[in-house]
Amino acid sequence: MQWSKLKSRVMQCISPELQGRVDFHLTSYRKSHDEADKVWITIDGERIFTCQHYRYEFGARELIWIDGLNLDEAKTALHCNEVHQPKEFGEAMRVYLDLPIEEALRSADPFIKAFALIDRRTGKRTIERIEISDSEHTLVKAFYNLRK
């Protein structure tokens, strides 16, 4: 699915009070040798989260070559530091659109959980019952506070 179609489908799921406040952006650097991408999320025009291809790649290489981690350990370390690939964001959007809201709210994927928090199907009482820990992903905390 193309980005514009994917974005519009996710935007239709956003609760009415947040329509126009939350936005998702993607840019591709097509003239770069690997057509790198960058994804960012804004609330009221302010950037709150960014996924960059090069930041992820350089971080993974450093953890593998310098720190001696294997690929899976490097991915886990990067995710703990909230460094993600742009493609992970797009994949999470696709998965989110096919999940029941209850399952999306329980998801271990921070993007899917964040989308579920701003979803129109998530009611105020459900939001009140959710407990967000301090170790939760920045995006999840931001969307939770936005709905509170």
pLDDT confidence tier of residue 1, bands split at 50, 70 and 90? confident
Question: Residue 25 forms beta bridges with which residues?
Answer: 40
Residue numbers of the domain that contains 37: 3-147
**Model confidence at 37, in pLDDT bands (50, 70, 90)?**
confident
Count the domains in the chain: 1
pLDDT in tens, 98-136: 999 999 999 999 999 999 999 999 999 999 999 999 999
Percent of the chain with pLDDT over 70: 96
Write out pLDDT tens, residues 74-88: 999 999 999 999 999
The torsion angle over the Cα atoms of residues 50, 31, 5 and 42, rounded to 10 degrees, is 20
pTM, full prediction:
0.91
